[in-house]
Structure 1
Amino acid sequence: MTYDRYLRVDDLLSLQVPQSAPAEHDEMLFIIIHQVYELWFKQILHELDKCERALNADSLTEFLRTLKRVHAIQKILVDQVSVLETMTPTEFNRFRNRLNPASGFQSHQFRIVEFRIGLKDPGYLKFFRATPEHMNQLRAAMERPSMYDLFLRLLARKGYPVPKRVLDRDPAAAWEPDEQVKDVLLSIYRDPGAHIDMYNAVEALMDLDEAFMLWRYRHVAMVERMIGFKRGTGGSSGVEYLTRTLSKRFFPELWQLRSDLGSSQWG
């Protein structure tokens, strides 16, 4: 066994195939950045498997330790945008037309990450009709309980009054914010000391949600910096669509309950 054989370095280095002819210098950067994103998405999915096992086993310690790793990966995802921004709009436009009709919409791993955490939208399935294997993976992720579902079930097992309708809901359905779930989570925030393990868990979920929000923002800003308000290569409205994604939240009740905490005197 050698380093190269173990990591299959030759195979890895053969995967960067620019489509421009002659090859534009910056297309290599574009390809590598996005391939690295896909590798990190794969690792996040691997860690989400462990998160689910920990939740099913009522092991908050293992759950939090694993989420800490996911959060560290998320920081890398955000920082990678800065590397891509070293390419100028002119340099990008020299090969951008070669990407048609490819689009970030078609990252099945990113959609699976969203589905697995709790942000399910069957509307995205249509972008994977040409790749049945990816479509099947997305359907499987949509039909299984999300990490948020599993966390709420853990809360119920620990005696928190999570509504039965929430525990028995169709896991494939898009999550709808629930007032009673918000009240359960609010009770944890109102007395963190009495619920310290759960408080640490919900704050870790907030870290996860906020980090994805920051990544979406950096992505939107980078795209506008590169192409302005041109349409996306996959036919989307580009920046206009991406801006709408900034309102996405995996755990909406955790954000909503902030308005119910403490005094409002500071506005």
Structure 2
Amino acid sequence: MTDSRPGSQAAPQADPHDERFVSFGEQGAQLTYGSYLRLPALLDAQHLESDPPAHDELLFITIHQVYELWFKQLIHEVIAARDAMLGQVEDDRLWWAQHLLARVHVIERVLVQQVDVLETMTPQDFLQFRQQLAPASGFQSVQFRELEFLSGAKDPAYLERFRGLTDAEQQRLGRRLAEPTLWDAFVAVVAAHGLPAGDDEEIAMSVRSAAHDRSRYAAVWALAEALLQHDELAASWRARHVVMVERMIGSKSGTGGSSGSAYLRGRLPLQYYPVLWDVRSRL
């Protein structure tokens, strides 16, 4: 609709064919929302195994694929935060590490909340396709193990317990076992601030000193709190996950041959940073 008032002019309309409004990708091909996000491949990645198709299997697949995408993002952020802490001696990047860890916390809260969506599926509906999942199991999530290893909970026995890993997955996990963790990076930060960091007892006392002199050791204390938050949120996800599993299958064994909820409950006491938890008793 044009403006007919004297002296007025209608606002110019963008020409969709004007090169100024067209983005180009590789080799001059037009870049679109769908091509940029690879939507054809992404939306074709959900293939049901049940026959006849079980209605809730699509939900189950979608939720777990979304988890894997978030795991990928978490690994990306954790590596960057670790590297920022390790490089802080030459380049003061601790603010960047704190920023990235804050993002990790937000994503981890999303992981916990996604369980609510999965729990809209009833046990009866899950049983319609559960047998088709065997021997697949969430235990086999390589990215989840990478995240645990990077956080500080390295478990070389995982590579022996799970024999279905591809060569590439074996190499990835082996690399994670060999490289520094978030905890290693934090210890480097403690030492760089002139605080003792030779063993767990020294680190605990140094964190306690930082807690009581936050103006001088603000970065040390902030990172200690960020790591503790990461640890707490990981524990929250494990706790929420095991209750969901028990709600769905009770005490039945897992599809991958694990003991199901019994195995998951055995993981609940896991702490990435027991030293930081111990400091709470010393404040």
Confirm or deny a common fold (TM above 0.5).
yes
Alignment of 1:118 with 2:152, yes or no, is yes
Indicate if the aligned counterparts of 2:190 and 2:203 stay in contact, CA closer than 8 A: no
Give the equivalent residue in structure 1 for 2:231: 209
1:114-156 Cα offsets, whole Å, 9 max, x none, are 0011110111113154412111100000011111101101211
Give the equivalent residue in structure 2 for 1:189: 211
- Quick one: distance in 1 between partners of 2:185 and 2:218? 19
Give the equivalent residue in structure 2 for 1:60: 94
Moved over 6 A (4+): none
- Quick one: distance in 2 between partners of 1:108 and 1:139? 11
Q: What root-mean-square deviation, in Å, do the aligned CA atoms of Structure 1 and Structure 2 show? A: 1.2
Where do 1:1-267 residues align within 5 Å?
Answer: 1-58=31-88, 59-126=93-160, 127-163=162-198, 178-261=200-283
- Quick one: distance in 2 between partners of 1:182 and 1:188? 10
- Secondary structure of 1:229's counterpart equals coil
| Paired-residue identity, % | 47
Q: Which runs of 5+ in 1 are unaligned?
A: 167-177, 262-267
- Quick one: distance in 2 between partners of 1:152 and 1:179? 12
- Quick one: distance in 1 between partners of 2:165 and 2:152? 25
Per-residue deviation, 1:181: 2.1
1:77-119 Cα offsets, whole Å, 9 max, x none, are 0000000000000100111111111111100000000001111
1:41-92 Cα offsets, whole Å, 9 max, x none, are 0001111221122112211100000111111110110000000000000100
- Quick one: distance in 1 between partners of 2:128 and 2:259? 21
Moved more, 129-138 or 13-22: 129-138
- Quick one: distance in 2 between partners of 1:128 and 1:44? 25
Per-residue deviation, 1:239: 0.8
Indicate if the aligned counterparts of 2:139 and 2:256 stay in contact, CA closer than 8 A: yes
Count of matched residue pairs: 248
Moved more, 232-241 or 129-138: 129-138
Q: Which runs of 5+ in 2 are unaligned?
A: 1-30
- Quick one: distance in 1 between partners of 2:164 and 2:252? 25
Q: Normalized against structure 1, the TM-score is what?
A: 0.90
Q: Normalized against structure 2, the TM-score is what?
A: 0.85
- Quick one: distance in 2 between partners of 1:18 and 1:26? 10
- Quick one: distance in 2 between partners of 1:116 and 1:206? 15
- Quick one: distance in 1 between partners of 2:165 and 2:260? 21
Give the equivalent residue in structure 1 for 2:23: none
